[in-house]
Amino acid sequence: MLRYIKLTYYSLIKSYRSKAIKNKTVSIISNNCWGGFMYQSCKLQYNSPFIGLFLFAPDYIKLLKNLEENLKRKFIYINREQSKYKNCIEKDYIIGVLEGTDIEFIFKHYHSIQEIETKWNRRLKRLDFNNMIVKFSDSDLCTPELIKEFENLPFKNKVCFTAMPFPQYKTVKFMREHSKRGHVINEWATSYKYYNFVKESNKLL
């Protein structure tokens, strides 16, 4: 019964958000699965290729510093043993390195290179740099210096979730429930408490 009540509740929430969000084509750039969960929470198609994957924080900031040009590059695929993060990756995920860089994408929820290529290219075509939210969090080898770099990047619409306060930065949302852990995890589950994705997306229109 409790499971049924929860499923009904989340179904109603999704229905409400799908009606409330007017910006149906918003693109999300995210260092992990947060973007996918935001799309699902509003019953939107994926208007971004940043779905079902994650990047370690140093690589993510490198990517963002030259985002448009980096997203024109092709992937070179490697395995975990070839990754510079091999000691931090718990499973044998497929890893794509952007050609001409050392930026690694860990394709956590993909089963083949063909699946990656098909979905990445299809979703990349939908990405709109003029209608975009850029998200970061303090997980996966993040440091205060990288959070500062994110704050200084010239994206108009961005947000960063952290497990400790950074009152000097406008884009940081301090998630108190993660403070003992030292970094956020599964931040999509409670991010609406700190950042109204529907409201912020609608502001872009």
Report the alpha-carbon distance of residue 9 to residue 105 in Å, rounded. 34
pLDDT value of position 1: 55
pLDDT value of position 11: 82
Report the alpha-carbon distance of residue 184 to residue 165 in Å, rounded. 12
Tell me the per-residue pLDDT of 68-96, one tens digit each, with 9 for 90 and over.
999 999 999 999 999 999 999 999 999 99
Q: Can you give the pTM of this predicted structure?
A: 0.95
Tell me the per-residue pLDDT of 26-68, one tens digit each, with 9 for 90 and over.
999 999 999 999 999 999 999 999 999 999 999 999 999 999 9
The DSSP call for residue 54 is B
Report the alpha-carbon distance of residue 155 to residue 158 in Å, rounded. 6
Average of per-residue pLDDT values in the chain: 95
The DSSP call for residue 120 is H
State which H helix or E strand residue 172 sits in: strand 172-174
pLDDT value of position 4: 46
Region 168-174: what's the mean pLDDT?
A: 98
Q: How confident is the model at residue 8 (pLDDT cuts 50, 70, 90)?
A: low
Region 191-195: what's the mean pLDDT?
A: 97
pLDDT value of position 3: 59
pLDDT value of position 12: 87
